[in-house]
Chains A and B, each alone.
Chain A
Amino acid sequence: MNKKCNISYSTLLIAVLALLTTLLWIGNLFVGSVAIPAEEVINALTGEPCTKESWRYIIVESRIPQAITALLAGCSLAVAGLLLQTTFNNPLAGPSILGIDTGAALGVALVMLAGGSWIASSGISGFFATILGAFLGAVAVLAVILFFSTFVRNNLMLLIIGMMVGYLTSSLISLLNFFASANQVHAYTMWGMGNLGGVSLEQLPWYSAASVCGLLIAFLLAKPLNAMLLGARYAENLGVNIALTRNLLLLATGLLTATTTAFCGPITFIGLSVPHIARLLLRSSNHNTLLPVTMLCGAIVLLLCNMLSVLPGSHGIIPINAVTPLIGAPVIIYVIVNQKKINYFNG
């Protein structure tokens, strides 16, 4: 009978989170650096004429794509973090800590700083070059970490290797910055601050397709991911094709981290902290329910951060990376301090 309770609890949780996500997503349309009255927002959404044409433009061309981006970026980064934590059997793994988004940043930097005028002059091909650069950079770092993980068994050591790889990549980016022109550096610095408004309405379908693709792969891997909680050798004994699963996880994590990083800049703390929020809420590590809960929590947290970032109103927008640690860092500290009491740490 308890089993039934458990199912209904997770179903209930997913329903509540989905409702919250929807509300926050709608909420994102009503706030922004330009104050627009609520009824005008509704007018713009329902196609009624607005008092100012610029308001309609802001809602349709800026706030809707930004809200969709925040939703997808939250889902993507949180799920990428969860995949990394399960793959490495390490609850403190995450795209930022393991240097994967720095890898994506290096790819972007190579395209933006070393690519030169060719990129700047070519709109859509430059855009694809940026994404490809980010993807290759992220996957390259992930491959390096996976390579080390085959013989560095100690989780802490692996995290430190990830951080070192991240530093190496950062120093390469700094070198690229040093030799680039002032305009390129400015463009790159702006990108590096993280901006959920970076995806235009035309780019949105591409970004959505890549994210949904990555999320889909993650959901299809729920069964082997559960087996991998037992460790690679147990999973192999349960019939899991470890090499194939690892490669698919590499692909999914690369896709999720890289596209989000390419479009929005490196966004920290979502990948690391949201899977913990999800496990604490769900009280389970079972990926069948943990994946959707993590995804929804990621969307909620990033939508919330995006709303917080426009709080100053007409004074401008706080960079998103100044907001995410406010939620992420306390969660991680809480989890580390209480790890003896938290089930999934005591595996």
Chain B
Amino acid sequence: MKSAPVISAQHLDIGYHTGREGVKRVHTNLDIKLYPGELTCLLGANGAGKSTLLRTLSGAQPPLSGSVCINGRPLKEIDRHTLSQTIGVVLTDKTAIGGLTVREVVALGRQPHTGFFGILSAHDKHIVDEALNACGIADKGTRYMASLSDGERQKVMIAKALAQECPIVLLDEPTAFLDIVSRIEVMSLLHRIATEHHRAILLSTHDIEQALVLSDRLWLLSREKGLSSGVTEDLILSGCLDTLFPHSDIHFDPLHGSYYPTVHRHKSVTVVCHDETLLHWAINLLNRNGYGATLDNTSPSHTILRIESRNLIHWQEGATTTTLHSFEELVQQIQRQ
């Protein structure tokens, strides 16, 4: 049974008021549903309005028309205090927390729950411990923020949002500037939190490969087509991702879940290979060098590339067959043509 959405909105217009009376509409007529227990990734080109949408949903910026509902209740009717216990955010803003310890920063997430002076109760400390554990940084509690790597810092900010105990967490590009290991760690962490802690997690990202692997649901945002959302695989297979970046030089390869530059083939070769990996990289090499590859043995292409292994490649052109011993030699062979 499907849970009810925690954030919902119909006919939502988002954008800015610019100066006197001026309005810049970034998107109109958005229909939004964010579900608990799922990791949702918001994908789109730069300037597609991802940050504006996140700000509108977190209540930091009012919508131009329509209203955002949190658990069925209009966002603008929710008071500041309740809202701080409902939606937690992780931003890309500049901070000045280098002189605080990891534990102190995570404890800041308890502020919506503590009293006037922010004194932590035993319960608060327990929640902070749990958040540190969940994010795998329990051993770094006494470290200064300034001594952490970018990936570790991002985990601390996620732990802060977790300690805030909000059913909804919105993250603005949490994996930007992270290396591949940290990107995977952070995304897996977020997916685990969504599932195990039953939170609704929405993040914007440019890291499409990780999003396609770990995201339960995608929101595709583009200037031209607005917002399309759905379960990741549905969107991939329906070809929605190919139109996310309406650019003729880029196409989406649904087999490998990645974007590739469109190949301008002027020559063609038939490839015979029984190993999937070898085949994939052979085609990659051919495409990069201006060759289209066909797999059909019966086609009239007069050039045939037979790949036995990484070290044994036959380039058969008409009657002559050249035997090559590496992809480097294959490149040289192609360039000789």
Contacts and interface: CB of A to CB of B under 8 A. Distances in A.
Interface of A: 2-3, 6, 86, 89, 91, 220, 222-223, 226-227, 229-231, 233-234, 236-241, 279, 283-286, 288, 343-347
Contacts of B91: 231, 233-234
Interface stretch (B93-101, B237-245, B304-312): B93-101
A286 B98 CA distance: 11
Interface in B64-91: 80-81, 83-85, 87-89, 91
Contacts, number: 108
15 contacts: A6-B101, A222-B118, A223-B111, A227-B108, A230-B96, A234-B89, A238-B84, A238-B108, A239-B83, A239-B85, A239-B112, A279-B99, A285-B96, A286-B100, A344-B96
Given A237-B58, A286-B104, A229 B97 contact: yes
B216 to A, nearest CB: 24
Contacts of A233: 60, 89, 91, 93
A223 B118 contact: yes
In the A-B complex, the 6 residue pairs with the smallest Cβ-Cβ separation, listed nearest first, are A344-B99, A239-B84, A285-B99, A223-B118, A346-B146, A347-B98
B116 interface: yes
B88 A237 contact: yes
A343 B261 CA distance: 44
B146 A6 contact: no
Contacts of B89: 233-234, 237
For chain B, which range describes its interface: under 10, 10 to 19, 20 to 34, or 35 or more residues? 35 or more
Interface in B109-137: 109, 111-112, 114, 116-118
B146 A226 contact: no
Question: What secondary structure prevails in chain A residues at the interface with B?
Answer: helix
A249 B229 CA distance: 44
Interface of B: 58, 60, 80-81, 83-85, 87-89, 91, 93-101, 103-105, 108-109, 111-112, 114, 116-118, 141-142, 144-147, 164
Nearest to A345: B98
A347 B145 contact: yes
A344 B145 CA distance: 9
A228 to B, nearest CB: 8
A331 to B, nearest CB: 16
Contacts of B117: 222-223
Contact of B100 (A89, A220, A237, A284): A284
Contacts of A236: 60
B214 to A, nearest CB: 24
B47 to A, nearest CB: 19
A237 B84 contact: yes
Contacts of A2: 141-142
A286 B116 CA distance: 16
